[in-house]
Amino acid sequence: MNRFTAFCAGLAGGALLLCLARNRPEARASAPVRDAGPEQMRDPPPAWSDIDERSDESFPASDPPGTY
């Protein structure tokens, strides 16, 4: 078996494992997502600003709010 054939076989095996892992029922289940705002929190903070509100609304986005 040459290197290219071994590489392709390994790549195909890895892709198969990834597909099988993604199709497991526990992998598809996700935690419930709460609405934004302190009124939706179990333990809301004592103070809440506009920046806190925008940050909470944008979570889990990777970018901070535009007015940060």
Q: What is the pLDDT of residue 56?
A: 84
Helix (H) / strand (E) element for 10: namely: helix 3-22
Q: How many CA atoms lie within 13 A of 48 on its CB side?
A: 15
Confidence of residue 16 (pLDDT cuts 50, 70, 90): confident
CA 6/CA 54 separation, integer angstroms: 50
> pLDDT by residue (tens digit) across 24-48?
665 555 667 788 888 988 899 899 8
